[in-house]
Amino acid sequence: MLNKLSQWLQDSVFKPLEDKKMPVMEHLVEFQVRLTRAVIALAVVFMGTFFYADALVKWLRVPLQNMFVPSQLTWEPTDLPTVPFVFLAPAEALWQNVKVAGLFAIVLAMPYLLYEIWRFVVPGLHAQERRFVGPFVCVSALAFYAGVGFSFFFILPFALNFLISYGVNAGFVPQISIAQYVGFALWFLTVFGLIFEVPLAITLMAKLGWVDAPFLIQYWKWALLGSFIIAAILTPTPDPFNQMLMAGPMFLLYWVGIFGAKVFGKKTSAENQQAGVPTVAMAGVGAGGTASGMSMPKSSGDDYVGVPGGRHH
């Protein structure tokens, strides 16, 4: 009985887990090696970003009292008063530098991290899957960077300017904790990076056959409601202004995803049958018969937070 049970476990449980080219233990060893390489590379990049952490924090503070002018490709100061930064705990300033340096290290090392992940999973993919997964991962990384850049240059300055102006007009003196500001800014940048992944997520679901363009168009009102609900959850402040700044791009990207689903989505059985009609008609004509009822389709300052290295206005 023990021999039969052992043989059954080997044939039914353990053997299907093994790759024909590489056993499970070798997969685990390779995973350990690639994970070690990724951690070492991330640590090296982190040492470099931590050395420039003060400069990175200064650049992160730029959207607070400046607006980006696309026509001139420069930052212009706003009418906000000077906003001094304070820290409320002994290690708060140091911890914020570590947080900023760590996030920038992940962003800079992301191409190499994706390369290690790709090298680990590619042996288990079929040729058709490799042709799809590789470009999808590259476009996904570019979309995340585009979302972070869009938030830093356009969304974050408007959000900060509105919030600070509202407090000043209410008679309060602006004095911001460095931890609160860094957390607010990093969360905003990360969320917008993820929001720009919405079209790719919708396209992937359409590629797998889970949704299609007509289904997404039919439920666009629910998508609009969902955008505001998600924005209300993700925004670091409860004000409706920041909620609209996040929900608006999310809903627009939903329509971009519909376009991607229409172009790259999985064909339904009806579309496959329609695509096969001209072939049947041509076969009938070639055999000397007639295809009645069928027609060929047609082709178709000190306290002032300025830009580092720039002039104060």
Predicted pLDDT of residue 311: 55
Residue ranges, the chain, pLDDT below 70: 2, 5-6, 8-24, 125, 127-129, 236-239, 267-305, 309-313
Contacts of 98 (CB under 8 A, 6+ apart): 50, 53
> What is the number of H-type helices and E-type strands within the chain?
13, 4
CB neighbours of residue 216 within 10 Å: 22
Torsion of CA 134, 135, 138, 143, to 10 degrees: -140
Predicted pLDDT of residue 36: 94
Predicted pLDDT of residue 152: 92
If you search the block for the tokens 């609009």, which residue do you land on?
224
Torsion of CA 245, 251, 253, 259, to 10 degrees: -160
Predicted pLDDT of residue 302: 57
Q: Which of 302, 313, 221, 224 is nearest to 58 (CA)?
A: 302
Rounded to whole angstroms, how far apart are CA atoms 178 and 92?
8
What is the maximum alpha-carbon separation in the chain?
91
Question: What sign for the dihedral angle of Cα 255, 189, 149, 194?
Answer: negative
Predicted pLDDT of residue 41: 94
Give 61-116 pLDDT, tens digit per residue.
899 888 898 888 899 888 887 888 888 888 888 999 999 999 999 989 988 988 88
What Rg value do the Cα atoms of the chain yield, rounded? 27
Q: Are strands 74-77 and 176-177 parallel, antiparallel or unpaired?
A: unpaired
Give 145-164 pLDDT, tens digit per residue.
999 999 999 889 988 888 88
Torsion of CA 35, 40, 45, 48, to 10 degrees: 160
Predicted pLDDT of residue 35: 92
